[in-house]
Amino acid sequence: MNRQYMAAALAGRPSLILADEPTGALDSRTSRDVLQFLKELNAEGNTIIVVTHDNSIALEARRVVRIRDGRIQFDGEAKEYEKLLSSGSEEHLGQ
């Protein structure tokens, strides 16, 4: 997600922001900057929905909803999702 695209998307001051793989093509420093910016927007009262395949990005959120094959496998706090990943139980999600 480049800066011009982000600026244009936020020009209307939306209260809901859908970010599809917002760090996908970025270097690690810019990725951190984008995630921090999204967190700041959230702190201002905006709802941020981030779609990602990267668990490390998902864990930056407060809530994680993991969907696989059209079914919700996990819906809860990121801290709980992190515990699940750490325990190696990820493969049993949704079963």
Q: Which residue has the tokens 């910016």?
A: 37
What pLDDT is stored for residue 88 in this prediction?
Answer: 83
| Dihedral angle sign, alpha carbons of residues 74, 75, 80, 85 | positive
Domain boundaries, the chain: 3-92
Residues in the chain: 95
What pLDDT is stored for residue 77 in this prediction?
Answer: 97
What pLDDT is stored for residue 76 in this prediction?
Answer: 97
Beta strand residue intervals within 2-58, DSSP E: 16-20, 47-51
Residue 33 phi, psi (nearest 5): -65, -45
- Contact predicate 53/34, CB 8 Å: no
Please tell me what DSSP assigns to residue 90.
G
At the fourth CATH level, the homologous superfamily of domain 3-92 is P-loop containing nucleotide triphosphate hydrolases (3.40.50.300)
- Could you list the pLDDT tens digit for every one of the 95 residues in the chain? 456 677 777 787 888 989 999 888 889 998 999 899 899 889 989 999 999 999 999 999 999 999 999 999 999 999 999 999 999 876 656 54
